Amino acid sequence: MKFIQNLLNEHTGDTLLDRPCVFFDKQFNEAIFTVGDHDYPKHGSIAYNEHLGQFTSLYSIMPAGAITFADNTLLVKNDGGIRKWNSLGEDDCAFGLNGEAITPYLKYIVNANALYTKVFDNGEFGGRVYGGSTDKERTYENINPLSYIHMTFSTPLKQKGELSGENIDNSEYNFRYSIPRHNDSSWGDRLRGKTMQVEMESTSNSYDFSL
């Protein structure tokens, strides 16, 4: 075992976490396990190599979770930042994406197969929004989660409009809003076209939002 015995000896009872992060490195056929405590000076991740049948490496990083794709693995930090596993680039190896936490984002197309041009006036979708970081705080009493939502509309005619979540009316599970006028028009042209692209993003990841 390479460096592993020293690591285990330095921990007294907290080496095996209640909820460790465990993921598999397909490139080197290694199973990665987090050990130690985030608040403890000696912590990190250990790698078990299946070819050699033993622990072979010790890493200083300690992710809270991992998302495995076919071509790479993304490690998730406690604050929502990410890092790309096995990346040689310095920027990719650092926790965080552009120094910011990941926030929800959704893009979809309205009337994707339409054959005629129409004017877009109003929008509506069904969903639910829960506010607060715990189950007891999932109410609308403290702050409106919609205030964190920002919507951007665009059409093939190069029109673009933006809408703040505070302008979205919520009646139980129905969300309704008026589609804004074109931003760069002194006449306030309405958005029109065969299709319309809608982008929804949130500046906060502290709320559950289903659409």
Domains in the chain, number: 2
Residues 19 and 81 in one domain: yes
Q: Which domain, by its residues, includes 205?
A: 105-210
Which of 49, 74, 52, 72 is CA-nearest to residue 64? 74
- Does residue 100 lie in a domain region? no
Question: What digits encode the pLDDT tens for the residues 78-131?
Answer: 766 677 887 655 444 444 455 555 677 889 999 888 888 889 999 988 887 765
List phi, psi (to 5°) of 112. Answer: -60, -30
pLDDT of residue 83: 78
- Does residue 23 lie in a domain region? yes
Question: What digits encode the pLDDT tens for the residues 139-156?
Answer: 444 567 778 889 999 998
pLDDT of residue 158: 87
